[in-house]
A and B are shown apart, each in its own frame.
Chain A
Amino acid sequence: MDRLMKRILPASVAMGAGVLVLLGYLLPNPLLTTVQGELIRWAIIVAAFAFILGFFNILRVHLGRSRKSGRIYSLMLVLSALGSLGLTTVALLLPPFRVLGDWWFRYVLSPLQATVAGLVAFVLVVALFRLVRHRREAGVLIFLIAALIVLLGTLPVPALLGDRVVALRTWWMSVPAMAGMRGLLIGVGLGTLLIGLRVLIGADRPYSD
């Protein structure tokens, strides 16, 4: 019974749903298309509920850390999450308070996220400096050359390098960089296909424990 509930039944549901959605793409059958659309809507609903579960999970984890070090940050996170939830809910349910929701987004969330993104730029620059300082490898050299080409070619200084750097950057982005990116995209496509097949045949059961 335990095996049925934990392995056989979930695998059967996943494989059946996958096959039906796949058939809806392959066969122009209205029934299959309807079934496909319905299963996709179910997936969206389930994904929406996953956010709710994630929200409460964050609350549970950080409330449990109230006795440990860094509890002040957990407390702030909990208060911010509950405040944002309350403001957004009120703004959605009560139109007069919609302005309050916009204010919260524009003057709280946007500056904070922009600040974090700005820190990413600082971290990347420091990492680049450390990389070229401590590594003596061919890859590092290539990376350094590419970085210089892209950085200096994006906004060239005509008095120093002229348009040759811009042309070099354009070539770099359209040939070597695009080749590498296409390889990545092909790998992503093949990996997606393989994972899909494995899930359909039951070899991979990410839904199972």
Chain B
Amino acid sequence: MIYCPKCGTANRQGSKFCNECGSPLPATGLRCPTCGALNPVGNVYCDRCNTRLIPPGPSQPPEGEKPQRPAPIKGISLPSVPLEETARDRFSELQDFAAEAGGKGVAEEEIGPLELPSWLTGVEPASPGETIVPEEPSPLLEAPDWLQEVIGPVEPSVPGELTPAAEVPDWLRGLEAPAAPIAPEEAAPAAEVPAAEVPDWLRGLEAPAAPIVPEEAAPAAEVPAAEVPDWLRGLESPAAPIVPEEAAPAAEVPAAEVPDWLRGLESPAAPIAPEEAPPAAEMPDWLKELAGPTPPEGTPAGPPPFTFEEPSPPPVPSQEIAPPLPPGEISDWLRGLEPVPPEGPSERVPPVILDVSPRAAPVEQATVPPLVLEEEEEALPATGVELPDWLKVLEGEQPAAPPADFGGLVPAEIPEWLRAMQPREEVAVVEEPVESEGLLAGLRGLLPIGSGLDMPVTAKPVLPQGPSPATVARAELLQGLLSRPLVIPRAVPRETRRQSGWMVVRLLVGLALIAAIIAPMVVRLPFFGQPAAPGADMLFTMVGQLPPNTPVLVAWEYGPAEAEEMDRVAGPLIDHLLRQQARLVLVSTRMEGPASAEALLASRLADTQERLQRIANLGYVPGQAAGVREVIGSLDSRTEASTGLPAAQIEAMAGVRSVADVGMVVVLAAQPDDLRIWVEQVSTVAPGLPIVGALSARAELLGAPYISAGQIRGAISGLVGGAVYERQLDTGRGREYEYYLTSLGLAQWATAALAVLGALIFVFGGRKR
């Protein structure tokens, strides 16, 4: 438990602030200089690393003998270790502080309240056997008002009581500033006022504050240098020319001026001093800063080592030493040092002190060294009247009359501005990173993210690089294209000639075709010989062998587009069939087929009755091959197109139900595919049924294989075939065929001439393409 020094409330161990009043709580342990562990009060050796926490002194118990821990005292903040040992330890640690204060700071958690540390409180003068009650202030007559405010209410005392220097603690005497005129301390003769009596740390203040030095010199004459703690000596400014402490003979220091409670500190420190006193070169930085400018040669370059060697006091002229001020008066320099009460606590520190302070730490956080113990973790027993052993040692050494030893001073709180200068142990507080995100946001001390986790394993940082040469080339090309002026290509005369040349060609072709059409009308051109049609004779023979009234299935597969040619081809064949008294059953897979058939038959059979007896137009059959397949299997199920009557009722359809009932199939095809479909379907349904054809010149090439294979018994093709068949049939249309043949011959010759002309142009002047 930690008891609040202000309100006394018990707080949990480790608390930094009082739960009741919010005051900062002091640290409760000794921090090991080796491992940094906080050890309980009274530990001589570290619990963690067994490092000795307190330097051994003359009265140190034998090695291996563990010091006995005294019973703690409840109610006061006193160390529970023997005073003698503790004093030596404290002294050693003070020396360490003087050596390490510059590099180390006091951790914030170790910074105690503004009140006087407990160990100083325990030094309060008390008569032997009298219970030490730190809370009960003692009168401090010589203290200035501002010090009295810090200490508490005191009884006014007679100024004469303050005269003996030994009555006032030397280090506090320095606070008594006589309102003497300014005088350098160097002028003070050493014989009258030993310079060593001036607190060293106040000497350091003299240098920068020249006007107040004489005031400071007065108490300095009464205070030996050895009475000033070393950590306060560190505050001395070595720049002051009056600080040659080394020169001060130790014999000049009156032993009586040393307080008894500090004498206990002196004796053990003597043998340790040569070993632990840090050399001047090892002075901490902040102490070096306090030292100010480099002193002249012959003067020490820094604070004296933490030894009890009595430096030679600088000569201070006695006449310049101001007499002691009457009680209640505050010297000017102390007034200047007196902090201004309001505002912040830092304002209470005199500016000169602030200037030399190595750290501008808040005064509230000024604390005693870590080895100054405040509270014991364990519950202190109620026997607060008993003093610890080490205090008893002090008691025994204390003079019987407190005024004789302390000059009427009671342990008082160290002024805040002095605390600010007190060397503190700085513990490097490593600010652990605060988790900024996630569920653990706001927590400290978490395991940091490993370098292997926060960095991508595979993704390497892609450093921006310049564009590749290919990209640059493309960009330059694009830029070049964009920078080009927009030029509309003009018509090239060559192209014009080319267009005009093609127009000439087209004109010539058109004229040749037109001439081929018109010329036979004008003149008779007998130079063409008789055409030949190899299949016409066979076809003519087959049709001629048809018995009368034989049903013939006619596939009428041409329309108006091919009618000019196909009518000249199919006409002689139809005439021959009609002449043979054949009954024609017309079917077409083309929509124009039935109409084309009606147009042709209308010129062949004018009599309607005869037409109905001889011709049955079953119309259009959709579905290409499927339609052919279906119609040849059910001819009688259809409707006659011209009359609208059922095919079965048509006289020409008598006895005809399917393709098997007809004597011949005649295919009048202008397209090759139509011929193929009819041949395929009829050949599969009625194998052996004779198929003949009247084909266009275009379909002639396809019919040739069927003709040579015997699937088509006979066929004629083109105008030539029709003309040949007409010539054999001799229906009286010979003149008409002669005209068409002449026209056709002229057109074909013209076409052949154009082809040859083109080839010649290519060979002798044409261009390659």
Contact = CB atoms under 8 A, between A and B. Distances in A.
Contact of A174 (B513, B595, B708): B708
A151 B751 contact: yes
A148 B756 contact: yes
Contacts of B708: 174, 178
A25 interface: yes
Given A47-B623, A117-B564, A125-B513, A136 B755 contact: no
Interface residues of A, number: 59
Contact of A129 (B505, B627, B768): B505
A53 interface: no
B164 to A, nearest CB: 116
Interface in A37-71: 37, 40-41, 43-44, 47-48, 50-51
A114 B622 CA distance: 23
B49 interface: no
A122 B744 contact: no
A106 B563 CA distance: 11
A121 interface: yes
17 contacts: A47-B624, A95-B644, A105-B599, A106-B599, A112-B560, A113-B561, A122-B509, A125-B751, A129-B754, A133-B758, A134-B762, A134-B768, A135-B769, A155-B531, A157-B528, A181-B704, A188-B676
A82 interface: no
A126 B509 contact: yes
B560 A105 contact: yes
A156 interface: yes
A155 B720 contact: yes
Interface string B495-511: 00000000001100110
Interface string A145-181: 0011001101111110001001000100110011001
Interface in A14-46: 25, 37, 40-41, 43-44
A113 B560 contact: yes
B758 A131 contact: yes
A102 interface: yes
Contacts of B762: 132-136
B642 to A, nearest CB: 8
B754 A154 contact: no
Contacts of B532: 166, 170
Contacts of B252: none
A76 interface: no
Nearest to A114: B564
B702 interface: yes
B630 interface: yes
A154 B561 contact: no
Interface of B: 505-506, 509-510, 512-513, 527-529, 531-532, 534, 559-564, 591-592, 595-596, 598-599, 621-624, 626-627, 629-630, 633-634, 644, 676, 684, 700-702, 704-705, 708, 718, 720, 741, 744-745, 747-752, 754-759, 761-762, 766-769
A207 to B, nearest CB: 15
Contact of B630 (A41, A113, A178): A41
A174 B700 CA distance: 11
Contact of B560 (A110, A121, A128, A166): A110
A40 B529 contact: no
A194 interface: no
A170 B534 contact: yes
Contacts of B599: 102, 105-106, 110
Nearest to B627: A44
A134 B560 contact: no
Contacts of A8: none
Contacts of B624: 47
A117 B562 contact: yes
Contacts of A126: 505-506, 509
A125 B746 CA distance: 13
Nearest to B505: A129
A99 B590 CA distance: 21
Contacts of B769: 134-135
B755 A132 contact: yes
A155 B742 CA distance: 8
A185 interface: yes
B704 A173 contact: yes
A114 B559 CA distance: 9
A5 interface: no
Contacts of B759: 132-133, 144
Nearest to B517: A118
B534 A114 contact: no
Contact of B528 (A43, A128, A155, A174): A155
A128 B684 contact: no
A44 B627 CA distance: 6
B741 A155 contact: yes
B561 A136 contact: no
Given A110-B560, A113-B561, A129-B757, A134 B633 contact: no
Contacts of B529: 155-158, 163
B766 A109 contact: no
B768 to A, nearest CB: 6
A182 interface: yes
B598 A102 contact: yes
Given A117-B561, A130-B758, A177 B704 contact: yes
A116 interface: yes
Contact of A40 (B509, B626, B720, B768): B626
Contacts of B527: 157-159
A125 B509 contact: yes
A106 B599 CA distance: 8
A51 B622 contact: yes
Contacts of A154: 531, 718, 720, 744-745, 748
A50 B624 CA distance: 13
Contacts of B627: 44, 47
Given A133-B762, A170-B532, A182-B705, A152 B622 contact: no
B748 A151 contact: yes
B641 to A, nearest CB: 9
A37 B755 CA distance: 51
Given A40-B626, A129-B755, A132-B762, A152 B704 contact: no
Contact of A128 (B534, B595, B754): B754
Nearest to A93: B644
Nearest to A135: B769
B684 A133 contact: no
B645 to A, nearest CB: 12
Nearest to A43: B626
B622 A148 contact: no
